[in-house]
Amino acid sequence: MTGLSLLSGPDPRAGMETAAAHLSRLGPLPSAGTELIDLLDRSDLRGRGGAAFPVGRKWRSVAERGGSGPVVLVNGAEGEPLSRKDRVLMEARPHLVLDGAALAARATGAGEVVLYVGAEHAGAVSALRRALAERPEAERRSTRIATAPARYVSGEETAAVHFLNEGVALPTSLPPRPYERGADGRPTLVQNVESLAHAAMIARHGDRWFRDLGRGEAAGTALLTLSGAVAVPGVLEVAQGSTVGEAVTGGGGLGAPARAVLLGGYFGGWVAAEQAWGLPLDAPALRDRGHSLGCGVVAVLPEHRCGVVESARIITYLAEQSARQCGPCVFGLRAAAAAMHRLAVTGAEPDDLERLRRWSGELSGRGACHHPDGAAGFLLSALRVFDEEFLHHHRRGGCSVRAREAA
Amino acid sequence: MEGPTLEVDRIRCDGHGLCAELLPELIRLDDWGYPLVRPVPVPGPLVGHARRAAAACPLLALRLRQGSR
């Protein structure tokens, strides 16, 4: 596994890169302050937690608030079940993440950094702890580690802030947004670990260098997690703007003939395989085409697996992972999961398919956080991509994939 | 100037449904009794009704917000 930027240097599987190795490879961290924000703007770096919000703009909104000293919340609560990239980054390159956090603190005037990491990501927690012990004393004193409960919504930014304030990792109603009033009531920058690591590279090499790493209009690189029917599943760094097909080739090619690709994880959506290969891995370009890069998940569904069954499993998971705070999310996702399960496994009720189609439109925008939006988008993509299979399940109560296998 | 917009605090809302009774022009209920609000500025003639619907919510989960966000 060779990296282009974040994962360049020693093989990430070899474990944590020490401070000495990190510094001799990349040189010291430049002492950039607020001017780094302009550099980030020009670099076109976008957040890698899923929303792809411009990083420079996010830092500026916190820096401008100033107030009683902002907080930098380093988001390493990787709740997406198919994603591994944040964990790999924290385990292999913790100093790059800490560099990014230090830069963010300087640029926004923050006096405190919180490393918010999934409690189940033991390797990442231990690498960050070891790396932190190697940092300058002032940085060590202003940084602490908080472990996030293992749950899908823990990484949502208001949930992260809520956890620091009250020990409850559940989303809250907006406003105020975290950049206005977050941890301890202070302006809070919640930023994904990969985004921060990119910022640390941009501070060293410049915005031009970063943009040139990307293909065409796209800037920089992205960490992906490949899974499913690929020869070598795992984390891969690609030039943004390269295609899904190239990423799969980077993962050793297909391990079996493919039916569809789940792009962006459970909050992303299905794309039919033949349409997926040519898609550019770049958040704005994908959004224009009605898809999502999300947190960089590329999961390949093989021909011999049924899209309806797989989608039912995922929507059931998402329903279980609801924070159970907002009615439409609690009851809507539960009902959608039940209907999907009937369609996939036990036999559909006459209205199930029609109701799922309606719900996929109605559930979006109906929660305090984006959980129902993500689930609704996923549902919509499943209904579209596996249209024929849904009809087959609906009419015949059986699976066309299994029928084909049996034939 | 554009009219105010209706906002639901989704965490507070418990699906009582009074809002949909008082303002059926803009609010209907989903299959579980929770409001589906048309995402448009409240037209002038309905502003009074919208205000009453917001005031009637037993959980104060419906708000009328001036201007676009």
User: What are A342-367's pLDDT values in tens digits?
Assistant: 999 989 999 999 999 999 999 999 99
Residue A401 and residue A382 in contact, taking contact as beta carbons nearer than 8 Å: no
pLDDT tens figures, A179-222: 999 999 999 999 999 999 999 999 999 999 999 999 999 999 99
CB contact under 8 A, A368 and B11: yes
- The contacts of residue A73 (CB under 8 Å, 6+ apart) are A114, A116, A157, A160, A161, A164, A178, A182, A183, A188, A189, A190, A191
Q: Are A196 and A29 in contact (CB under 8 A)?
A: no
Q: How far is A331 from chain B (nearest CA, A)?
A: 7
pLDDT digits (tens, 9 = 90+) for B12-58: 999 999 999 999 999 999 999 999 999 999 999 999 999 999 999 99
A334 phi and psi, to 5 degrees?
-65, -45
Paired residues of A239 in beta bridges: A221
Candidate from B9, B30, B31 with C-beta closest to A173: B9
DSSP string, A114-171: EEEEETT-HHHHHHHHHHHHTS-HHHHHTEEEEEEPSSGGGGSHHHHHHHHHHS----
State the Cα–Cα distance between residues A30 and A7, nearest whole angstrom: 20
Q: What is the rounded radius of gyration, in angstroms, for the C-alpha atoms of chain B?
A: 11
CB contact under 8 A, A327 and B9: no
- What is the distance between the alpha carbons of residues A183 and A75, in angstroms, rounded to a whole number? 13
Report the mean per-residue pLDDT for chain A: 95
Nearest-CA distance B37 → chain A (Å): 10
The C-alpha of A163 sits at a distance from chain B's nearest C-alpha, in angstroms, of: 17
State the CB neighbour count (10 A cutoff) for residue A354: 11
Band (pLDDT 50/70/90 cuts) for residue B63 is very high
CA contacts within 13 A on the Cβ side of A68: 6
Burial A176-186 (b: 16+ CB within 10 A, else e): eebbbbbbeeb
Cα–Cα distance between A159 and A173 in angstroms, integer? 10
Locate A67 and state its tokens. 């107030």
List residues in chain B touching A: CB distance below 8 A. 9-15, 30-34, 36, 39
| Beta bridge pairs of residue A116 | A75, A146
Task: Give CA separation, A287 vs A121, A217, A290, in Å.
Answer: 30, 14, 5
- Contact between A294 and A264 (Cβ < 8 Å): yes
**Minimum distance, in Å, between the CA of residue A325 and any CA atom of chain B:** 5
A335:B31 CB<8 A: yes
Residues of chain A with Cβ-Cβ distance to B9 below 8 Å are 173, 368
Considering the entire predicted model, what is its pTM? 0.93
* Percent of residues, chain A, with pLDDT higher than 70: 98
Spatial neighbors of A77 by CB under 8 A, at least 6 apart, are: A116, A117, A118, A148, A154, A155, A160, A169
The answer to whether B12 and A173 are in contact (CB under 8 A) is: yes
Phi, psi of A256 (to 5 degrees): -160, 160
C-alpha dihedral over A104, A105, A107, A110, to 10 degrees? 140
Query: So what's the pLDDT on residue A407?
Result: 57
Contact by Cβ (8 Å): A308, A398: no
Cβ–Cβ gap A326/B30 under 8 Å:
no
Which of A325, A331, A367 has its CB closest to that of B32? A331
Interface test with A, best of B31, B37, B63, B69 (most A CBs within 10 A): B31
Chain B residues in contact with A327 by the CB 8 A cut-off are 10, 13-15, 32-34
Q: What's the pLDDT tens digit per position in A74-121?
A: 999 999 999 999 999 999 999 999 999 999 999 999 999 999 999 999
CA A227 to chain CA mean position, Å? 15
Q: How many angstroms separate the Cα of A125 from the Cα of each of A88, A91, A146, A150? A: 11, 8, 9, 13
Residue of chain A whose Cα is closest to the Cα of B28 = A362
Query: What pLDDT score was predicted for residue B69?
Result: 45
In chain A, whose CA is at the least distance from the CA of B61?
A173
Cβ-Cβ contacts under 8 Å, A172 against chain B: 11
The pLDDT of A127-141, averaged and rounded, is: 97
The verdict on a CB contact (< 8 Å) between B34 and A327 is: yes
**Optimal mutation site among A156, A162, A326, A373, interface B, most CBs of chain B within 10 A:** A326
- Please tell me what DSSP assigns to residue B41: P
Find out whether the peptide bond into A176 is cis, omega within 30 degrees of 0: yes
Cα distances from A226 to residues A206, A352, B42, in angstroms, run 29, 32, 46
Measured between CA atoms, the residue of chain A closest to residue B8 is A366
Please name the residues in contact with A253: beta carbons below 8 A apart, sequence gap of 6 or more. Answer: A230, A231
Contact A331 B11 (CB under 8 A): no
pLDDT class of A270 with cuts at 50, 70, 90: very high
What are the phi and psi torsion angles at B41 (to 5°)?
Answer: -60, 140
The nearest CA of chain B is from the CA of A65 a distance in Å of 18
Between chains, do A328 and B33 touch, taking CB under 8 Å as contact? no
Q: Calculate how close chain B gets to A330, using CA atoms only, in Å.
A: 10
Chain A CB contacts of B32 under 8 Å are: 327-328, 331-332, 335
* Residues on chain B touching A366 (C-beta within 8 angstroms): 10, 30, 34, 36
Residue reference for tokens 């510094």? A23
The answer to whether A40 touches A199, Cβ cutoff 8 Å, is yes
B13 to A327: CB separation less than 8 angstroms, yes or no: yes
CA distance A284 to A282: 6
